[in-house]
Amino acid sequence: MQLWYRICELLPLELLQWDFMKNALLAILIMTPLLGLTSTMIVTGKMSFFSDALGHSAFTGIAIGCICGIGNPTWVAVAFSVLFALLFSFVRSRSSHTADTLIGVFSSTAVALGIFIATFGGGSFTKYNTYLIGDILSVTPAEIGMLAIVLVAVIVFWVLFSNRMTLTSIHPQLASSRGISTGTVQTIFTTVIAVIVTLAISWVVMLILNSLLVLPGASARNVAKNIKQYHLYSVLFALIAGIAGLVISYYLGASAGASICLVLAVLFAITFCLRKAGR
Amino acid sequence: MNIGTHGGSCSHSCCLRVQNLSVKIGSESILTDVNMHVHCGELVALIGPNGAGKSTLLKAILGQQEYSGVISFSVPGQRNRHAKIGYVPQTPSFDPGDPVTVADLFACCMSKRPAFLGISKAMREKILACLQRVSGEELVDKRVGTLSGGELQRVLLALALEPLPNVLILDEPLSGVDVEGMEALMEMLDDILKTYDLSIVMTTHDFGMLHKYADQVYLIDRGVVCSGTAAEVLDSRSFHQVFHRKGGI
């Protein structure tokens, strides 16, 4: 961290005189590529509502963790989200309902359970506000270290599984005929999303987290011509929006998460117009 | 996709055997007691009305559908040999918005190197060689979702031929392809049969092609109703009964 602080001090930026801004910038440099990478497969696999539902289940996990008196409820939330993801995959593979119906069922049940637990016995809801309006400016060096470990793990996972995930997303039957265990690939991927979403809600407003998981990939999809460009643009857009959003939030005094999201929305609009112009 | 060996006697160099195969989904019987014998170098067509169980039979051979009975493959003189199956799915629909090129699709199937890191020169050469088999080199950089029906069938055929399978399965390859495209595709399959040591099993509703290209035809309607040459099956009473009962072809 000391090396990072020194690098920041060399940069002629007023906002980097504060330690919490230095931490936030480093967290963004780690978290946005993570979200950009994951976004490609969420968009291709048409799983945007699923990741939204996972955010809701994470909140329920946090409520359970708090009730159980666990100091850091994030790990309970991770465990609950993974359980939620696995249960969803299991029911989906054995149900005739479409994915969006099942997502609705699981999402609303998770939220209702979370609110029920949080308010059980007349409890106050306000202690959960951190998770509903999470802030990247509150990130600590220890949490940045954890984010870095997750980023490395996801990159390794991507190198090993991305070909199989792509094939499973675009044509499961074809993937299966090539010897790919599509069920296993989907289960592992949903578990990865569950972990990322749950860890991220401490620093990004829960209500807009999903847009960070969808917009980079959706914008990249507008202009990319192949898989390589798709990943490159998605990570780049997430990174640009992360840095720009942090700077905007500092000077305008607005929420960093919301600013990042709005920059991504602008990038989506621009790439959408470029796509139209390119036709 | 691999299927096991069988020890039955057959004078041909290799063959695929389906014995007493039945498929039940819930309480509904989809296929009952199917027996089929496909020799190397043969094109076998499965015909039948919609919902007759043709695609289910293919899925069972592919291992994507649970079944009772035996599906086996034999190569005389080679023990423990497993059949490699190439598969071209029915009406394959790819999202035109997905930035996945034909080269990406091949790389995802053939390469251990992740496609998002780019495709190596050697892999691109290999992909072009695969596409050459179906005269489709010019399609290499096109998005999969923007290909026409005929182009997509050719690309998926090239993909199914890598690695070279023992059995090539095509589910309704002629649907969504115009008349000229149909003729070209069937000629291509005929060439493949002559060039490589494999057999082809395909489902189709286009009976006009059967006389010229199919070695065996199986009429399927919840089981094998009759089988034989195209002339034998298409002129049979069973054929007319099945399609008359179902209200035409």
CATH of residue B209: 3.40.50.300
Q: What is the pLDDT of residues A214-231, one digit of tens each?
A: 999 999 999 999 999 999
Mark yes or no for CB contact B114/A226 under 8 Å. no
Mark yes or no for CB contact B99/A174 under 8 Å. no
Query: B240 and B169, same structural domain?
Result: yes
Q: What is the pLDDT of residue B80?
A: 47
Which residues in chain B touch residue A229, judged by CB atoms under 8 angstroms apart? Answer: 99
Among residues 33-92 of chain B, which lie with CB inside 8 Å of chain A? 62, 64, 85, 87, 89, 92
Region of residue B222 (left: phi > 0; alpha: psi -120 to 50; beta: else): left
The closest alpha carbon to A258, from A139, A130, A131, A133, belongs to A133
- Report the distance separating Cα A192 and Cα A203, nearest Å: 18
User: In terms of pLDDT, which residue wins out, A121 or A30?
Assistant: A30
Query: B119 and B64, same structural domain?
Result: no
Query: B234 and B171, same structural domain?
Result: yes
Looking from the CA of B141 toward its CB, the CA atoms found within 13 Å total 6
* CA A260 to chain CA mean position, Å: 13
Query: B67 and B53, same structural domain?
Result: yes
Tokens 């050459």 identify what position?
B132
Interface test with B, best of A178, A182, A225, A279 (most B CBs within 10 A): A178
Of residues B2, B92, B104, nearest to A171 (C-beta): B92
Which residues in chain A touch residue B112, judged by CB atoms under 8 angstroms apart? Answer: 163
Angle (CA) A267-B102-A229 rounded to 5° is 25
Mark yes or no for CB contact B62/A177 under 8 Å. yes
For residue B153, tell me if it sits in a domain.
Answer: no
The closest alpha carbon to B36, from B19, B23, B57, B49, belongs to B19
How many domains is chain B partitioned into structurally? 2
Q: What is the pLDDT of residue A129?
A: 67
Which residues in chain A touch residue B58, judged by CB atoms under 8 angstroms apart? Answer: none
Does any CB of chain A come closer than 8 Å to the CB of residue B115?
A: yes
Q: DSSP alpha helices (H): ranges in A71-181?
A: 74-93, 99-119, 129-132, 141-170, 172-177
Q: What is the pLDDT of residue A121?
A: 74
Query: B174 and B133, same structural domain?
Result: no
Mark yes or no for CB contact A177/B64 under 8 Å. yes
For residue B49, tell me if it sits in a domain.
Answer: yes
Beta bridge mates, B85: B167
For residue B155, tell me if it sits in a domain.
Answer: no
Q: What is the pLDDT of residue B144?
A: 92
- For A67, phi then psi, to 5°, come to -60, -40
CATH of the domain at A43: 1.10.3470.10
Does any CB of chain A come closer than 8 Å to the CB of residue B222?
A: no
| Residue B117 in tokens | 């890191």
Asked if A163 and A231 touch (Cβ cutoff 8 Å), the reply is no
Mark yes or no for CB contact A166/B115 under 8 Å. yes
Per-residue pLDDT of chain B (249 residues; tens, 9 = 90+): 444 444 445 555 567 889 999 999 888 889 999 999 998 889 999 999 988 899 899 989 888 888 999 998 876 656 545 678 898 887 667 888 899 999 999 999 998 899 999 999 999 999 999 999 888 899 999 999 998 888 888 899 999 998 888 899 999 888 877 788 888 889 999 999 888 888 999 999 888 889 889 999 999 999 999 999 999 999 999 888 888 765 554
**Which is it for strands B199-203 and B43-47: parallel, antiparallel or unpaired?**
parallel
Query: B168 and B84, same structural domain?
Result: yes
- Report the distance separating Cα B31 and Cα A140, nearest Å: 62
Q: What is the pLDDT of residue B74?
A: 76
Compute the average pLDDT of residues A143-147. Answer: 86
Please tell me what DSSP assigns to residue A134: -
The closest alpha carbon to B1, from B109, B153, B123, B78, belongs to B109
Query: B100 and B83, same structural domain?
Result: no
Does any CB of chain A come closer than 8 Å to the CB of residue B109?
A: yes
How many domains is chain A partitioned into structurally? 1
Tokens 């399927």 identify what position?
B220
Asked if A189 and A198 touch (Cβ cutoff 8 Å), the reply is no
Residue A55 pLDDT level (bands cut at 50, 70, 90): confident
Does any CB of chain A come closer than 8 Å to the CB of residue B140?
A: no
For residue B173, tell me if it sits in a domain.
Answer: yes
Query: B86 and B7, same structural domain?
Result: yes
Q: Hey, is B77 helix, strand or coil?
A: coil
CA-based nearest residue in chain A for residue B60:
A177
Tokens 């493959």 identify what position?
B73
Query: B215 and B115, same structural domain?
Result: no
Q: What is the pLDDT of residue B92?
A: 63
Sheet holding B15-25, edge to edge: B28-39, B15-25, B68-74
Does any CB of chain A come closer than 8 Å to the CB of residue B122?
A: no
> Of A160-174, A250-264, B87-101, which range is least confident?
B87-101
Mark yes or no for CB contact A225/B89 under 8 Å. no
Q: How many residues does chain B have?
A: 249
Please tell me what DSSP assigns to residue B95: -
Q: What is the pLDDT of residue B209?
A: 85
> Range of A87's domain?
2-278
CA-based nearest residue in chain B for residue A226:
B99
Chain A residues with CB-CB distance to B under 8 A?
A: 40, 44, 158-159, 162-164, 166-167, 170-171, 173-174, 176-179, 220-221, 224-231
For residue B51, tell me if it sits in a domain.
Answer: yes
Which residues in chain B touch residue A236, judged by CB atoms under 8 angstroms apart? Answer: none
Query: B240 and B171, same structural domain?
Result: yes
> Range of B113's domain?
95-146
Of residues A162, A176, A221, nearest to B64 (C-beta): A176
Of residues A164, A171, A179, nearest to B89 (C-beta): A171
DSSP per residue, B196-220: SS-EEEEE-S-GGGHHHH-SEEEEE
| Residue B147 in tokens | 């290909």
Q: Decide if pLDDT at A10 tops 70.
A: yes
- Report the distance separating Cα B172 and Cα A175, nearest Å: 18
Angle (CA) B37-B43-B45 rounded to 5° is 80
Could you give the percent of chain A with pLDDT greater than 90? 30
For residue B187, tell me if it sits in a domain.
Answer: yes
CA-based nearest residue in chain A for residue B116:
A228
For residue B154, tell me if it sits in a domain.
Answer: no
From B94's Cα to the closest Cα of chain A, the distance in A is 6
